[in-house]
Amino acid sequence: MIKKNNLNLMIIYISTFCVGYFFSQVHIFEQRAVDAGLVLANIVNYPDDISPMREYFVKSWTSLHQISKIFLNFNWSFESISKLIIFVTAILYFVGIFLTINSTTKSIFISILIAILILVFQKNLGDIDYPSLVFSEHTYGMISLAMITCIFGLLFSGNFFFVGFCSSLLISIHPLVGIWISGIIIISLILNKYYLKVTINKKKLITGYAVGIFFTFVSLAYYFILTPEFNSYFDLESYNNYMKYWEGHRNETEIHLEYLSKTLVLFIFCFLSLKVFSNNFTNDFRFGVLCVLVSIILSITFYFLYKSLLPNIPDFFIKFIPGRFAILHSVIGWPIILGILFVITKKFEGKYFIPINFSYILITFIILSYSISHYKVFIKLQNLFINDNSKQIMLTKEKKFWNTAKKIKFDGYVLTSFSSSTISMRKTLKPIILDVSSLDFVPYFPNTAKNMSLIIEQIYGISFNNPPADIKNKPFLTDENIKNNFESYPEEKWKMLSEKFNFHGIIIPVDWKIKLKPTTKGESFALYII
């Protein structure tokens, strides 16, 4: 698809690197996958199995944890690894969008422009039960969506070796999504054989799969060899209470009509490219469109079946969040629509009063008009890219607090609130008893439900089978839910809870007035030692 000369390749390589660098600087999200890397690398050591966090961190199979561990072993900082993940994510998105647009327009300039602007505006078809995580701290959903976007772009451009490689490698990153896209490609190959009948380089596709599967197998073997046994046990009552009162993604009954309407537009454009204007597209693009159509049909079918069967759907299927698959065409949707619109418009140039090169004018007008109407996004990104002095002063003050907290030695866990959960482990390198900002790992590790329920009820003072209305079916505890309970506990209760649950540090917002004397204070948080 790309006219291979030195100038074109240089433009593409430089653009790709610059995009990755820019977004890694403006989207400074500390990645949750690196948290598990800290535990796997024995930088953060969990003393026992009281906390469900250790089982979650250690028993989660994803190569993202393993790669984070490797970089941490080479003394990379948490922030540097997080930036690297955003860097790779931006490149995957950029390549996928660029290849999709270039496979229709054949224009490197338009392809680069659209790819950059979609990432700048984080433009997608929207959210469904499972959100479109373009750039986020939630590494797993973000990376898997970026990989899927890249895989579709590779399909459109006929890079079948890398299609196979990325699809099989994705299994090691996000097993469910990796298996899904591999299944979509297999089904599409079968349908292509009997209906579309376009020529596909299956040899390269299989070779790519073989190489990717090798790395995935190595990751899985590494996981099984090094993952220890746990003493936790399955408690049906605790698990059922979690699924009924805390689970958020899987209990959503709302039908997301806006997202579905946009998906319908994408489906119509894809259908037109195969049935009405098929001669105007390459075989590679048509096969890629077939894969998109198969993904849309299957994912939306699962989505409606899931909605109609709730709450009677078997627990085995609930764990998979069937609605997640409908989000996988979210980012690639608009590039496909714009690309097909370009080709259809070009077909009618010189006819029906449509001037020559109107397709270029139309696409340019669409992206420029959207950019002008959303110009504030550019200002926001500029401010993020340029360091603000007042922010640096604030960070310096906070750094002093965290350095002090890190140097103070004590046994056991750290107890945290919503606002201090993730940052406490990352800055002090001490284990937190529960990350109350993200409690959504229970469906994958049902044995963790029991200890989670004990911690939430006895330490945080919140009923596990009757949570407050504002957090029901939301897998987190807000600071507002916690503050009054913590402030009401007498010193004796703190000591009793400390002994029972083996936590000897508390990091909470500095303005909370609990009945303990702070050991050190910062601008935002205070540390208490029991």
Q: What is the pLDDT of residues 128-142, one digit of tens each?
A: 877 788 999 999 999
- pLDDT (tens digit, 9 = 90+) per residue, 373-406? 877 777 777 776 665 444 444 466 688 899 999 9
State how far Cα 381 lies from the chain centre: 21
| C-beta separation of 125 from 336 below 8 A | no
How far apart (Å, rounded) are the C-alpha atoms in residues 130 and 152?
20
For the stretch 260-264, contacts whose Cβ atoms lie closer than 8 Å and that sit 24 or more positions apart, written own/partner, are 260/300, 262/125, 262/126, 262/333, 263/125, 263/296, 263/300, 263/326, 263/329, 263/333
- pLDDT (tens digit, 9 = 90+) per residue, 40-56? 999 999 998 899 999 99
Residue 10 host element (H or E): helix 6-26
Biggest distance spanned by C-alpha atoms of the chain: 85
Residues in the chain: 530
Query: H helices of 199-256, where?
Result: 202-226, 236-245
Positive or negative CA dihedral for 153, 156, 162, 165? positive
pLDDT at position 390, please?
A: 42
| Residue whose structure tokens are 């600087």 | 25
Residue 120: name the closest of 372, 309, 432 by CA: 372
| C-beta separation of 326 from 258 below 8 A | no
- Average pLDDT estimate for 56-75: 95
pLDDT at position 388, please?
A: 46
CB-based burial of residue 194 (10 Å sphere; 0-12 exposed, 13-18 middle, 19+ buried)? Answer: exposed
Higher confidence at residue 452 or residue 393? 452
- Average pLDDT estimate for 247-276: 87
Report residue 319's pLDDT band, with 50, 70 and 90 as the boundaries: low
- Average pLDDT estimate for 351-365: 86
Q: What is the SS3 assignment for 394?
A: helix
Average pLDDT score, the chain: 90
| Residue whose structure tokens are 């561990």 | 69
How far apart (Å, rounded) are the C-alpha atoms in residues 283 and 205?
15
**0.85 exceeded by pTM:** yes
Distances (CA, A) of 4 to 8, 99, 111: 7, 14, 15
State how far Cα 202 lies from the chain centre: 30
